[in-house]
Amino acid sequence: MGEISIERQHLDHLLADSASTYGAPYQRAYAELAEARRGRPVAEILPLLRQAADQALLGFTDADLHEQAEAISAGEQYVLRVTVA
């Protein structure tokens, strides 16, 4: 399980929100990668997750991104604990 802390005003960077004008929420990118890359090697998925996190301006650790890539590769759910400040 990963953890991330995010400011309330940037919650739309993480979660898709139809009321937001932010165009690159991480939740959407993650879901698309999970669907398209299931069963693919972690090394292929990891840079795509890093790019998505960078576009969403989120500070995931290398370990969190690696865990997420492993979950996508294995077709498993990934649990992320979010703290909103």
Prediction pTM value: 0.87
pLDDT at site 3: 87
Distances (CA, A) of 11 to 14, 38, 57, 63, 64: 5, 26, 11, 21, 18
pLDDT at position 65 is: 95
Q: What is the pLDDT of residues 12-57, one digit of tens each?
A: 889 877 677 777 889 999 999 999 999 999 999 999 999 999 999 9
Closest CA to 14 of 28, 2, 1: 28
Instruction: Identify whether the C-beta of residue 78 lies closer than 8 Å to the C-beta of residue 65.
Output: no
Contact 5, 81 (CB under 8 A): no
